[in-house]
Amino acid sequence: MKEKFPTPYNVGIVAFIFMSLLQLQLFASHKDGYINRSSKLRLLQDTVPKLLDSVFELNFKSVRINSVQKPVADIETSGNATIHQFLKGEAAGLYVTERSGEPGTPNSMFIRGISTPIFSHKDVYHNQPLVVLDGIPLVGTHPFSYMIQAYDLDRIGPENNLLSNIDLSNIESIEVLKDMANTAVYGPMAANGVIKITSKKSVTDNKKRISLHSFVGVSARPQVTTINGDYENRFRQQFYDLYTTSGRYNDDDTYPVYLSDSLNNRYYGPSNWSDSYYNNGLNYGVNANISGGGSRSNFQFSLGSLQNAGIADDAKFQKYNARFQLDLQPLKWLFFHTSINGTRLNRDRNRNLRNRYAMMAYLPDLSAPLAPNKETYDAYLLEQDKGFDNNFSNILDGNVGISVQSGKFQLKSTLVADYNEGFRDLFYARTLMEENSFAANYYGYNQRLVFNNVALYDWKLNDHSSLFLEGASILQWDTHKYNYAYAYKGVNDFIKINLLRFDDTHADHLISRAFPRQLVYKFLDRTRHNLVSFYSRGTYNLQDKYTASLLLRYDGSSNAQPTERWLFTPTLALGWNLKNEFLQDNSLYESFKIRASAGRLGVLNLYDNVAQGPNYTAQIGYTGNVIVPGYNAFAGLVRPYEDGWIGYDMPWAYTDQLNVGFDFQLSKRRIYFSLDAYVKHTKNQPLGIPSLAEYGYAYNLASGMDVKNTGIEVSVGGDIIGNTNRDFRWNSGINLGFNNNKLTALPGGLDEVVIHDRKLKVGERIDAFWVLENQGMFHADAEVPQVNGVTKNYNGITFKAGDPIWADQNGDNRISSEDRVMQGNFIPKVAGSWQNNFFYRNFDLKASFYFNLGRNILNQEMSDRFNFINNENANNMNSVKEITYWEKRGDYGRYPLYNPWSAVNAYQATQDLFLENGSFLKLRQVSLGYNLSDIVGASLDGGNLYIYLAANNLFTLSKYSGRDPEVANYMGIDQGHNMLLPRTYLMGFKLNF
């Protein structure tokens, strides 16, 4: 039986509400004057910052190692909706992907590379950092629902970017924590690093402060070149001229009907579909914030709304946010804190065929694609409008804390709750899918409750040294759940009720007859994870020159197997202040420090199937849909896991990390330099090894995979033109992150393994492509070599004229998987940014460049375009033609004219013919602002007014032949159907008084 820790979620919520009401009463009834002002200020300045963060962050006495703090005073000017979009290039060692320009969709962040191979969407979650908002470790969407999906595209449900709940206008600072000295205190959740976000604080000067920020802008419609049936016909004609006897395509019975009739105006007429598909999108945002109070009681309240619109399909994203914070100090030794943040996310999704078919788990007849004629495409959109797709998420997070201080001793208790829920209701009319209507309903939630207690003692040993002691216990309960149902063939298109439930007690009930019982598919699942942690830490400081910190922690996870439930991990951090040691009287140096850290953190299992040990799953059915298995007409109680057989005695995976760095800053021109070198070795990871097929499993989940990441991170900047000229200043800074990953071990001592058409080999990168090497083309049958009477062949198929020449790596005159090579990588070797800020009197001009270097992209879109023979007659996702199929993309001239009819599949995507350089330099943002405070400051009672213009994604420099080197999927493959990142323009203002 699975071991679970108690789950006092309801008790915690009651306590949360009670303490909040208590603090509100105290806030309303007490007046300033019970304690002296100096004492109140000291407590607020010391206690408030540490109340929530001390459980998860090194305190002021500790060594802050490799913590890149990003002040975000200008974050609002970006117009971005998510943290991901803003953080691109903002910290060395942080790599952010944005695989689609569709607003509100999930993005990914990777700190110091990836430690787990990525084979599917759910593997991306294993590599994501922890995001902490004001001491709240945010809970995200769990990937376990991918287990019931037939296609690895969008996750079922709303699939909104849950980090959009953070209103950028409320942010005071963002820190990217990467090394063990800063992340170990967060425990196993921080194995992939931490993004720490701090909101703006309340004022304590007995005055009210009001701020207002607003912007409006547009996402600019892109300029595209459209094509029609005539263009496509001429493109294909060149292959028929080369590889058919008469050069006439009508000799081929497989030639598509939609291209056979040149008088068909739908395909051969005007290609003006783009007028209905692409659009200019309206973007706007507003945030109002009010704060006030004194040193003993203060509050902050903000409201915000934002819309980001896409450039196609009328896609847009909206969010509404409210935040409340309250700090109280009724006695000089007692402090309360409460904050609550609520958000509503709405997203109008794209209308891509792939996304719809994947979600429906149904592929219709693909022989007649959408026509490029606007009139015809508009008629199709009218059929889309007969249905609906309601897609939204609600998010609520908050915390309540109490702190008691007596002299140098402090005791803190904090209760943290984070909850998000997602809904998606949709209906498609029968005219969209071969007279089969479709309805689906999804509801799911993710919740986290954390209760922690921390004891701290600040012990001054003598005039030259001090010891800061800390001990903590943390209890965490996570729950993820979804209910999902879909159905085909409703009785008619007017009944769109998505309550896919049968009421047998009322035979004539409408719902019981809306969809045939045998065509309704229902799924529900819930997974829980409980984490118990204890840690203690001591930080010794000698003469403000030498610092040593030792942290010891003990973590227990319910997702670990019973025999391996607990893991002990230590972390040691050292610091040496060279400024105070050797340069104390040297005014040139503002600071100069050397630091080092080494430690270990456990890696959590995302799924509870590891804790279950061996369990069985059966997938049956003839419809092609993933269904709940049954036996003799009775549903079976099985788990939807297909990761493979799970054995016993699987240990915790863990990551060891060593970091060495130094920082210095010069007083003159504010020049700074930071350098970090690290080795991050993640060990004992589970991996599905192909085996045990005779037992019904394709894989055996075994531990023993080790991945090493090594790298160097550099941040350098300062005033190029300093303050000597008061009218003009130029500040510039560069962030660089160099990263390399290498597989160092596989389970069972294996040297290599092939999984999902990907190869892992010890000593090679885990993000490498596995491709055939192109060496030209056979122009005649006589050119095909023979060795010992065997003609060169591909998996037994003899090569002929028009076939590609693929490198024979092992020299056996046979091309097979043995001849594929590991080449390139989709995680960049270097990622970073170059920031430039120009100031002239009250004007400022800012330009931000973002770049990825040493990265490759597999251009599957071009593979699909040239592989038209195989795709035209197939019934799979590669055969789906979006309306954007009628758009000229890429450089056709760079590809040889292979024989597309060849059985060797000459244009298969997994060859280096389609592997391209994906490096790029992008002008991410340019903004121009003017500070009107000198003009209106008097009327604003000392406040300020700032107006600005900004533009994003202005241009990209790249050798990549596709649309945008950023728009590739989680494995570096450009499939061509994702929305482009928009070019946006906006204007706005920030008012504070």
Q: Which of 483, 606, 610, 532 is nearest to 140 (CA)?
A: 606
The span from the CA of 746 to the CA of 749, in Å, is 6
Say whether pLDDT at 991 is over 80: yes
The span from the CA of 2 to the CA of 607, in Å, is 13
Is the four-CA dihedral 642, 643, 647, 653 of positive or negative sign? negative
Instruction: Please give the backbone phi and psi of residue 11, each rounded to the nearest 5 degrees, phi first.
Output: -60, -40
Report how many helices (DSSP H) and strands (DSSP E) the chain contains, helices first.
16, 46
**Residues paired with residue 869 on neighbouring β-strands, in sequence order:** none
Q: Locate 324 and state its tokens.
A: 């409340």
DSSP assignments along 156-185, one per residue: SS----GGGGS-GGGEEEEEEE-SHHHHGG
Q: Of the given ranges (237-246, 413-422, 771-780, 971-980), which has the lowest mean pLDDT?
A: 237-246
Mean pLDDT of all residues in 712-718: 95
Residue with tokens 């493959």: 973
Residue with tokens 């009287």: 585
Are the C-beta atoms of 124 and 179 separated by less than 8 Å? no
Say whether pLDDT at 542 is over 50: yes
222, 616, 738 from 691: Cα distances, Å:
49, 15, 37
pLDDT at residue 520, as a whole number: 84
The span from the CA of 378 to the CA of 575, in Å, is 66
**Residues paired with residue 702 on neighbouring β-strands, in sequence order:** 687
Q: What is the pLDDT of residues 942-972, one digit of tens each?
A: 678 999 999 999 999 999 999 999 999 989 9
Are the C-beta atoms of 969 and 975 separated by less than 8 Å? yes
Residues with Cβ within 8 Å of residue 343, at least 6 apart in sequence? 164, 165, 167, 319, 320, 321, 322, 394, 395, 396
pLDDT at residue 463, as a whole number: 86
The span from the CA of 271 to the CA of 322, in Å, is 46
The span from the CA of 463 to the CA of 544, in Å, is 11
382-385 own/partner pairs: CB under 8 Å, 24+ apart: 383/429, 383/431, 383/432, 384/351, 384/428, 384/432
Q: Locate 960 and state its tokens.
A: 């990549």
Mean pLDDT of all residues in 155-169: 91
DSSP assignments along 520-548, one per residue: EEEEEEEEEEEEEEEEEEEEEEETTTEEE
What is the pLDDT confidence band of residue 325, given thresholds at 50, 70 and 90? very high
The span from the CA of 660 to the CA of 180, in Å, is 11
CB contact burial 233-251 (16+ within 10 A = b; e otherwise): beebeebbeebeeeeebee
pLDDT at residue 74, as a whole number: 66
Q: What is the pLDDT of residues 879-933, one digit of tens each?
A: 999 999 999 999 999 999 999 999 999 999 999 999 999 999 999 999 999 998 8
The span from the CA of 676 to the CA of 714, in Å, is 7
Say whether pLDDT at 595 is over 60: yes
Total number of residues shown for the chain: 993
Q: Of the given ranges (326-340, 493-507, 622-636), which has the lowest mean pLDDT?
A: 622-636
Q: Locate 769 and state its tokens.
A: 């492509």
Q: Of the given ranges (291-300, 670-679, 744-753), which has the lowest mean pLDDT?
A: 291-300
The span from the CA of 430 to the CA of 721, in Å, is 66
Say whether pLDDT at 619 is over 80: no
Alpha helices in 505-631 (DSSP H): 510-514, 578-582, 609-612
Are the C-beta atoms of 289 and 208 separated by less than 8 Å? no
Q: Locate 610 and state its tokens.
A: 């590891």
Mean residue pLDDT of the chain comes to 86
Residue with tokens 């009739």: 261
Say whether pLDDT at 38 is over 90: no
Mean pLDDT of all residues in 641-661: 86
Q: Which of 902, 929, 909 is nearest to 971 (CA)?
A: 909
Residues with Cβ within 8 Å of residue 350, at least 6 apart in sequence? 102, 310, 312, 313, 315, 979
The span from the CA of 468 to the CA of 538, in Å, is 6
- As to burial, measured by CB atoms within 10 angstroms (0-12 exposed, 13-18 middle, 19+ buried), residue 568 is exposed
| 430 against 639, higher pLDDT | 430
The span from the CA of 254 to the CA of 712, in Å, is 55
Mean pLDDT of all residues in 62-71: 39
pLDDT at residue 497, as a whole number: 65
CA angle 3, 7, 12 (to 5 degrees): 165
Are the C-beta atoms of 112 and 127 separated by less than 8 Å? no
The span from the CA of 590 to the CA of 588, in Å, is 7
pLDDT at residue 514, as a whole number: 79
Say whether pLDDT at 736 is over 70: yes
| Distance between start and end Cα atoms, the chain | 60
The span from the CA of 528 to the CA of 4, in Å, is 9
Give the count of alpha carbons within 13 A of 600, CB side only: 14
Mean pLDDT of all residues in 301-309: 95
Q: What is the largest CA-CA distance in the chain?
A: 101
Mean pLDDT of all residues in 181-186: 95
The span from the CA of 833 to the CA of 854, in Å, is 15
Q: Which of 831, 896, 835, 825 is nearest to 866 (CA)?
A: 896
Q: Of the given ranges (37-41, 98-102, 358-362, 380-384), which has the lowest mean pLDDT?
A: 37-41
| Percent share of the chain, pLDDT over 70 | 85
What is the pLDDT confidence band of residue 937, given thresholds at 50, 70 and 90? low
Q: Which of 500, 554, 453, 608 is nearest to 142 (CA)?
A: 608
435, 536, 799 from 927: Cα distances, Å:
52, 46, 57
pLDDT at residue 623, as a whole number: 55
Radius of gyration of the chain (CA): 30
Q: What is the pLDDT of residues 397-429, one digit of tens each?
A: 999 999 999 999 999 999 999 999 999 999 999
pLDDT at residue 79, as a whole number: 84
Residues with Cβ within 8 Å of residue 695, at least 6 apart in sequence? 645
Q: Domains of the chain, with CATH numbers?
A: 9-217+281-754 (2.40.170.20), 773-818 (no CATH)
Q: What is the pTM of this model?
A: 0.89
Residues with Cβ within 8 Å of residue 36, at least 6 apart in sequence? none
pLDDT at residue 564, as a whole number: 93
Say whether pLDDT at 590 is over 70: yes
At 439, which helix (H) or strand (E)? strand 438-460
